[in-house]
Structure 1
Amino acid sequence: MGERWVKRLMLGTDVGLLAYWTASALGVFTAYRDGVMADWNWSFLGLDLMVSATGLTALWLARRGNPAGRSLMLVSLALTHAAGLSALNFWALRGDYSPGWWAPNLWLALFPVFGVWVLFSRTGRSAWPARTSSRR
C-alpha cells in the first residue's frame, strides 16, 4: 500500500471521528450510562476534533501540492495515535476487553504507525534533520 491508500484511510478515519461525535452530540446513541465514563468519553472530543481538523487540512493542502500537507499529515497521524493509545491504556487498566471499543481504538493506535512508515519509506527522507559536519 502506498501513500494514496494512507490518504484514503486518513480521510475515512477523520470523517468517521466527525460522524461519531456528531451522532453522540445528537443523541443518536449513548456510549455510556455512567456519568464518569460519559465524561471520560467526552474528554476525547477536543483531541479527536484536532485529529480531524489537522488530517482534513493536510489532505486538502497535499491535494493542492502544498508541501506543508505532508508535515501536517504527520501531526495528524501522531494525534490519532495518541488518542487511540490513550483509550487502549484506559481500557487495559480497567480490565475491559470489549471488542466494540478495542477494535476502533486499535485502529486509531496502529494505523498511524503504518501511515508514518509509508510516508517516510516513500520519500526516503528521515524524520531527523541532516547533520552538518563542523570539522576544523
Structure 2
Amino acid sequence: MNRVLGPTKIAMLVTDVGFLLYWAIAFARLIPPEFAYKDYTNPILSDWNFSFVALDLAASATGLASLCRTSGGRTLMTVSLTLTSTAGLQAIAFWALRGDFSLTWWLPNLFLLLFPIPALIALTCQPAGETAR
C-alpha cells in the first residue's frame, strides 16, 4: 500500500497547494483574458468556474490536514481524494456535455479525476485483519 500512497501524497501536496494558488489568483482576477479558457467574461462560465470553490477548498483542506496528521490522516486522505476526483469528474462531464474537447482543460481535469483512484482502492480495500491508521 505504501507504494501507492507515497506518490499519491506528493500528487496531493502539489494539487492541494495548486488549488489554493489557483483560487487566490482567480479571486484576485489576475488571470489575463488570453489565458482564461474561452470567455470568462461570460457570466455563466465564470459562475461555473467559481462553483468549484467550496469543493476544491474542501479537498485542499482535508488533503493538507491528512498530510500533517497521523491520527485520522487515513480518513482525511480518503475524503480529500474523493473530493478531488469528484471535482475532475464534474469538470470533464461539463465539457463533455458541451462537446468541447480542449486539452488545456481536459488534461488537468483528467489528472484530478484519475490520480486518486489507485490510492482510494488501496485505502478502501485493505487486507482482512489490517487496521486503519
TM category, shorter: 0.7 to 0.9
Q: TM-score, normalised by structure 2?
A: 0.83
Cα drift, residue 27 of structure 1: 1.6
**Amino acid of the residue matched to residue 81 of structure 1?**
S
Q: TM-score, normalised by structure 1?
A: 0.81
- Structure 2 equivalent of residue 2 of structure 1: 4
CA distance in 1, matches of 2:4, 2:113: 19
CA distance in 2, matches of 1:112, 1:2: 10
Cα drift, residue 125 of structure 1: 5.5
User: Highest relative contact order (Cα 8 Å, sep 6+), 1 or 2?
Assistant: 2
Aligned pairs for 1:24-103 (under 5 A) are 24-29=26-31, 30=33, 31=36, 32-61=40-69, 65-66=70-71, 68-103=72-107
CA distance in 1, matches of 2:128, 2:27: 41
CA offset digits 1:49-75 (Å, max 9, x no partner): 0000010011111xxx32x10011001
> Once superposed, which parts of structure 1, at least 4 consecutive aligned residues long, lie more than 4 Å away?
none
* Identity score, percent: 47
**Structure 2 CA distance for partners of 1:72 and 1:125, relative to 1, 3 Å:** farther
CA RMSD of aligned residues (A): 1.8
Consecutive unaligned residues of structure 2, counting only runs of 5 or more, are none
Consecutive unaligned residues of structure 1, counting only runs of 5 or more, are 127-136
CA distance in 1, matches of 2:128, 2:63: 21
User: Size of the alignment, in residue pairs?
Assistant: 121
**Amino acid of the residue matched to residue 43 of structure 2?**
G
**Amino acid of the residue matched to residue 121 of structure 2?**
W
